[in-house]
Amino acid sequence: MSGYICTSKVDGDASSLLARPELSGSTVFISTPRRWLTAVVGDGGTLFGHDDAVVDLGDVFALEGFHPDTGINFRWRLTAEGGVGATIGSSDVQTEESSCILDHIDTEYLLWGSIAEVDDDWARLHETRVGSIWIPFTGSHTCVGSRAQMTRREYITRSDDGIAVVADELYIRLTVESSETES
């Protein structure tokens, strides 16, 4: 494998990061003091949850997302100065801030609950002990009873000491695992 992992830093509130045109259509995982939720980035950086509900960024302290088609990832976290974020992606072009990729490892994580309801490009995961959360599944085939998986990619680079290290771990896709009762 060849290529580079590239980072572009963005200072300011979350809306300054989300307003970047290349992030439109991205899936976002949002952390607030009271809940964890998902949304999709619309034009201009507005976040839309299930049923096109606009997500208020007022109490968000962290977000992380990915674009399912371009592979661009992004992160933002609240700081005393307002916030710091970055877009992250792989490229064939090296920059001063990039790291050479030696290899990558994809790891799939099974999300809790199973799909209890499907509505357009969204699926509601539910687990009795935990509750429900709506997840965007644009272009995926979902059905009730299926399980959702998150795939993260670890990019391996070489440290200054010559040791292989994980340079970054990024979300790359949400997929649906078929239930055992499906044919």
Structurally, the chain folds into a number of domains equal to: 2
Q: What is the pTM of this model?
A: 0.82
Q: Can you tell me the mean pLDDT for 61-78? A: 91
Q: Can you tell me the mean pLDDT for 86-95? A: 72
Report the C-alpha gap between 171 and 53 in whole angstroms: 24
Report the C-alpha gap between 74 and 139 in whole angstroms: 21
pLDDT one-digit tens code per residue, 15-56:
989 999 999 999 999 999 988 899 999 999 999 999 899 999
Question: pLDDT grade, residue 3 (50/70/90)?
Answer: low
Written as six digits, the tokens of 14 are 């979350």
pLDDT at 144 over 60: yes
Please count the helices (runs of H) and the strands (runs of E) in the chain: 1, 14
Under DSSP, the state recorded for 54 is B
SS3 content of the chain, % helix, strand, coil (to 5): 10, 50, 40
Residue 182 resides in a domain: no
- 93 with 110, same domain: the answer is no
For a pLDDT cut of 70, what percent of the chain falls above it?
87
Of 32, 65, 99, the domain-final residue: 99
Full domain range(s) for residue 55 = 4-99
**Mean residue pLDDT across the chain:** 85
Q: What are phi and psi of 31, to 5 degrees?
A: -115, 130
Report the C-alpha gap between 119 and 122 in whole angstroms: 5
Residue 183 resides in a domain: no
